[in-house]
Structures are given as C-alpha cells and as structure tokens.
Amino acid sequence: MLIVTPYVVAEAEGNIPNLPAIAISQCTALQPQLQVMDDVFTIDRPAVFGPAKDRSILFSELAWADLLLTLDWQDFGALIDRTFYGLRVLRPGSFLAQQRLGARLI
C-alpha cells in the first residue's frame, strides 16, 4: 500500500511540472493505489529535524508507515539509509535494489 498525506500530495503536484512528461502519466496510474492519511504535525518523542516544512512528512510517515521513500536529499539526507524511531528512510532506488536482492521483485 502506498501512503500519502495531503501535504505530500500538494508537494508532489508542485514538483511534477519539473519532471519528464512520463512522470505525469505514472503519477496518474499510481493514484488508485494511494491511501491518503491525515498529516501529523507533532509527535510524543524528542525530534531534532531542521526543515520545518518537511517535518510533517517525517512525522506522518512515522505515524502511518514503516518506510519513507524520498528523493529529497537536501531535506532528508541526514536520515537516508537510517531509521527515525524505527521508520526506515530510503531513496526509491535503494528500496527497489533491496527488494530485488530479497527476490521480492523480478
């Protein structure tokens, strides 16, 4: 299942015009698989995470998912290939490589 929040959807829609044309059709194809969950803005644990604008992405995924896939190296770079209170943070390519190694993808 693919989990997103309203904030993630808005950010993705703002970035799509900067991507190749095929990205629009791929995003459209993915929409039926998306489960939209509420944005989460605070957590009950200490957190030091600089980019205030993306804090809700991190906190929402911690609340709703076990994995955050991101291409946002600038804001999430310090967390990529690590965990945040058990939430794995990976780039999509790393995730796909791990799935292939585990024989979960062809």
Count of C-beta atoms within a 10 Å radius of residue 98: 13
Using CA atoms, how far residue 96 sits from 17, 29, 51, 57, 100, in Å, is 24, 19, 26, 21, 6
Secondary structure (DSSP) of 5-54 = -HHHHHHHHHHGGGS-HHHHHHHHHHGGGEEE-------SS----S-GGG
Does residue 65 lie in a domain region?
yes
> Given pLDDT bands bounded at 50, 70 and 90, which one contains residue 27?
confident
Does residue 40 lie in a domain region?
yes
92-101 per-position pLDDT tens digit: 999 989 888 8
Residue 50 has pLDDT above 80, yes or no: no
Report which of residues 103 and 90 the model is more confident about. Answer: 90
Averaged pLDDT score across all residues of the chain = 88
Summarize the confidence of residues 47-55 as an average pLDDT.
Answer: 77
Segments forming the whole domain that contains residue 13:
2-101
The total number of structural domains that make up the chain:
1
Does residue 106 lie in a domain region?
no
CB-based contact 9:30 (threshold 8 Å): no
pLDDT number for residue 105: 60
pLDDT number for residue 87: 95
CA 35/CA 22 separation, integer angstroms: 22
pLDDT number for residue 36: 95
The pTM assigned to this predicted structure is 0.81
Number of alpha helices (DSSP H) and beta strands (DSSP E) in the chain: 5, 5
Residue 20 has pLDDT above 60, yes or no: yes
Does residue 68 lie in a domain region?
yes
CA 87/CA 101 separation, integer angstroms: 20
